[in-house]
Amino acid sequence: MVPTVEAKGARIPLVGLGTWDLRGRACARVVEQALRLGYRHIDTAEMYDNEREVGEGLRASGVPRNDVFVVTKIWPSHFAPRELLRAARDSLVKLRLTEVDLLLLHWPNPQVPLAETLGALCQAKTDGMTRHIGVSNFNTKLLDQATSLATEPLVCNQFEMHPYLDQSTLVAACRAKGMAVTAYSPIARGNAKNDEVLVRIGRAHGKTAAQVSLRYLVQQDIAVIPRTSKVERLEENLSIFDFRLTETEMTEIGRLARGDGRILDWSFSGSPKWD
Ligand code: 1BO
């Protein structure tokens, strides 16, 4: 059983499967395999163009729907209220679900007033399309605005986080608001795999550097959603609950953060000013 982090009534499994870039049959197969191996958290998005296959994998796994925490996200070009509600409905149709567990705003969009977008997101929840709502790639300033505008609890902020990127300010802001954090790219797109510090620490625990990178986050109650298409990696990414990093090791890993550690910094509709 994968441990969970709790926020405002949402229980989010600390390890999930990220599906960005997974497409077609391969995506459905990996989702099915992951669920059979014990994953109970699947992360998709309108923008990933794979919600249909995620739904297929979910059904093929035979795991009861209510045992799985399904997350999807609305793309910023659909942040106008009517568009958002239509996009949420389309996601449910593709997933063949009556509701998801968590619906996120994928990336901030300054072109649409946040109050309108939040109003529609809250409506998606009260209409029963999702059990919980949240945001992704919001900085502390946007998070303040979002939480003061939302009439329903925002349970999570999902953003890039791994040992090379210091996100302590944003994590502290989420915690102060009682929100959970989900880290995408938690192995820094594979860059952490050969890191000599992580390799050395991993060796002391009989683990890989990737497992140390994931453990570093879950040990702070941060959910991780590593993406992989390889079954052996699915198992590796899940096997991080049978060891504990020492305080000294946690501090040493924290020192790997560097100014140019961010991987994803695109300007879709105006990147936020990162904390
Ligand atoms: C814009 C994609 C970020 C990860 O979901």
CATH of the domain at 98: 3.20.20.100
Residue 259 inside a domain? The answer is: no
Q: Is residue 21 exposed (0-12), middle (13-18) or buried (19+ Cβ within 10 Å)?
A: exposed
Q: Is residue 155 part of a domain?
A: yes
* CB distance 48 to ligand 1 below 6 Å: no
* Digitized pLDDT (tens) for each residue of the chain, 275 residues in all: 999 999 999 999 999 999 999 999 999 999 999 999 999 999 999 999 999 999 999 999 999 999 999 999 999 999 999 999 999 999 999 999 999 999 999 999 999 999 999 999 999 999 999 999 999 999 999 999 999 999 999 999 999 999 999 999 999 999 999 999 999 999 999 999 999 999 999 999 999 999 999 999 999 999 999 999 998 999 999 999 999 999 999 999 999 999 999 998 875 556 788 89
Bin 21: left if φ > 0, else alpha if -120 < ψ < 50, else beta: left
Neighbours of 267 (CB within 10 A): 7
201, part of any domain? no
The Cβ-side half-sphere exposure at 149, using a 13 Å CA radius, reads: 19
184 is catalytic: no
Q: How many angstroms does the Cα of residue 79 sit away from the middle of ligand 1? A: 16
Nearest CA, atom 2, ligand 1:
106
Question: What count of residues does the chain have?
Answer: 275
Q: Does residue 255 lie in a domain region?
A: no
Domain of 73 in residue numbering reads as 4-192+218-243
Domain for residue 270, yes or no? no
Domain tally, the chain: 1
pTM of the model: 0.97
**Partners of residue 160 on adjacent β-strands:** 184
Find the farthest-apart pair of alpha carbons in the chain and give their distance in angstroms, rounded: 54
* Number of continuous H segments (helices) and E segments (strands) in the chain: 10, 10
Asked if residue 168 belongs to a domain, the reply is: yes
The verdict on residue 225 lying in a domain is yes
250 is a domain residue = no
